[in-house]
Structure 1
Amino acid sequence: MVLQLDNVSLKKDGTWILQEVNWHIEKGEHWLLFGLNGSGKTAILKMIHAEYFPTSGSVKVLDKKFGKHYLGEELRLKIGFVSSALQEKFHHNDSAFEIVLSGAYASVGLYEKPTDEIRAKAIRLLKEFGCIEYGDRMYESLSQGEKQRILIARALMANPSILIFDEPTSGLDFIAREQFLETIEKISHEQNAPTMIYVTHHVEEILPVFKKTLLLKEGQVFSSGPTLNIISSESLSQFFDLPVRVHWENERPMLYRVKSS
């Protein structure tokens, strides 16, 4: 089991952010975490990353149970993050290559001298994701799509067991978004691919590889199960409290509002 959240609740500043959340992910599964803004998605991610600890309930990540094991750099190295929010934390004068290298240490910034082996791996990843031509450029000078590719390379530097994509297509145009999603699909087919969690509130981003879905609403699990069952007209109409229609084409869904006559 890669992730176990059992009856997890979280209170911050007197407000319940999560309530009685249950979520189990087995190795090799790829999950979609779907919810509107303010649903508690970020809180769950911070809990997985050992930044938040539950007010009640049990959390176990990669066989490390919160409260019984030391949770620090060792755990965070096993969890790769691809998030636009990371971009704000990087140093302005870091090159794309340095950003990728920092992933080997799960650090924001490069504070250790990378070994030849680590440098070689960073170069291989830059080539694999089509980033090598701008590896020496300042990260802040890159386009949003180029930045996201660099973040994927960075996330894979430490051979993570879990790879989390947190609203990763924010700011991308249609072409850049589809190129980015193709990269995710490519990762899923690699041997020993990490367990992936894709977090979004955009139905059209859901790839066939994410065969299971958890719907989160107002800090509670609304439903979870096979994506084809969860991302359906009936299920999402109940979820949104609004009549909607889901149309699947080429194993990708599209969402439409059903207008009342």
Structure 2
Amino acid sequence: MVVLEDVGVRRFTTGQVILDGIEWTVGSGEHWALLGPNGAGKTTLLRLLGAMMHPTSGTVAVLGHRLGRVDVRELRAHIGHVSTAQRVPEDLPAHTVVLTGATGTVQPLWRKYDRAAREQAHALLAELGCKELADRPWRVCSGGQRARILIARALMPEPSLLLLDEPFNALDLPSREDLIDALRRLAAGRPGLTTITVTHHLEELPPTTTHALLLREGRVHARGTADETLTSALMTSCFGRPVAVTRQDGRWAARSAQL
């Protein structure tokens, strides 16, 4: 699904190194967590995977297509990208927001949506546990509801790769748990779907998380299966302070290990 070889990204204006020597392979059906301190390069890495930018050096291949040798507009149609910064007109109902995922537009293109597309949008809302929101305007949806609606929107083109950029940002506990449950159901119901989730908190990871990559100062600090990577020792060395990691009932938690 994703292959990065010796990937580097530098800011042309200042020469600042944002990513350096990134080696990473993501397989079909895997569910990755992407973690690291602020400024580690997580968002830049996700932009590369979403074909939103090109590396300064090295090679990036997404869904079998190497960046620089493919029409990125066509490639993006096969990648679902969810960000809380997504612009959505306040008056659109949730069902219409999901429909716009079929055309990749902010405003709906009504002539492009046939009956099958409309039914698919309803089915996706149901799959994400929010079918009752179909007619609710975006402006009155909660943060957790918006996150699930945006995931439904990203799934409209039936992507095989779903990128989630801090989808839990500013969610309260019930909303966080609703979203975690929705992601767990997605993983169980769509075995071919690959997901990569940027988060700051281990508590936000669903139990279906299979792998993790830790970034520190633009370099891969650790990567591998979730059990191998989400450990107290590796989290401590990545974040630069003592961190104690525990796991219970398939869920992770992290706290300061300082006395």
TM-score by length of 1: 0.93
Aligned residue type for 1:102:
T
Question: Mapping of 1:1-261 within 5 angstroms?
Answer: 2-12=1-11, 13-14=13-14, 15-72=16-73, 74-86=74-86, 89-113=87-111, 114-260=113-259
| Partner-residue secondary structure (3-state), 1:189 | helix
Which whole-Å CA distance do the structure 1 matches of 2:83 and 2:182 have between them? 15
Q: How many residues align?
A: 256
Gapped regions of structure 1 (runs ≥ 5) = none
Which whole-Å CA distance do the structure 2 matches of 1:125 and 1:42 have between them? 26
Q: 1:57 to 1:175 in 2, by over 3 A?
A: same
| Partner-residue secondary structure (3-state), 1:187 | helix
Sequence identity (%):
36
| Partner-residue secondary structure (3-state), 1:136 | coil
- Would the aligned equivalents of 2:3 and 2:62 in 1 still touch at CA under 8 Å? yes
Q: Which moved more, 1:9-18 or 1:52-61?
A: 9-18
Q: 1:191 to 1:46 in 2, by over 3 A?
A: closer
Task: Kindly state the Cα deviation for residue 176 of structure 1 after the two structures are TM-superposed.
Answer: 1.0
Aligned residue type for 2:62:
V
| Partner-residue secondary structure (3-state), 1:4 | strand
Which whole-Å CA distance do the structure 2 matches of 1:158 and 1:237 have between them? 39
Task: Kindly state the Cα deviation for residue 192 of structure 1 after the two structures are TM-superposed.
Answer: 4.2
Which whole-Å CA distance do the structure 1 matches of 2:126 and 2:70 have between them? 37
- Would the aligned equivalents of 1:64 and 1:71 in 2 still touch at CA under 8 Å? no
Which whole-Å CA distance do the structure 1 matches of 2:162 and 2:58 have between them? 24
- Would the aligned equivalents of 2:181 and 2:206 in 1 still touch at CA under 8 Å? no
Task: Kindly state the Cα deviation for residue 184 of structure 1 after the two structures are TM-superposed.
Answer: 0.1
Which whole-Å CA distance do the structure 2 matches of 1:112 and 1:9 have between them? 41
Give CA deviations for 1:129-164 in whole Å, capped at 9, x if unaligned.
333322222212211111112112111111011011
Task: Kindly state the Cα deviation for residue 112 of structure 1 after the two structures are TM-superposed.
Answer: 4.4
Q: 1:192 to 1:230 in 2, by over 3 A?
A: closer
Which whole-Å CA distance do the structure 1 matches of 2:28 and 2:236 have between them? 31
Give CA deviations for 1:98-121 in whole Å, capped at 9, x if unaligned.
110011112222134211111111
Which whole-Å CA distance do the structure 2 matches of 1:112 and 1:53 have between them? 33
Runs of 4+ aligned structure 1 residues displaced above 3 Å come to none
| Partner-residue secondary structure (3-state), 1:91 | coil
TM-score by length of 2: 0.94
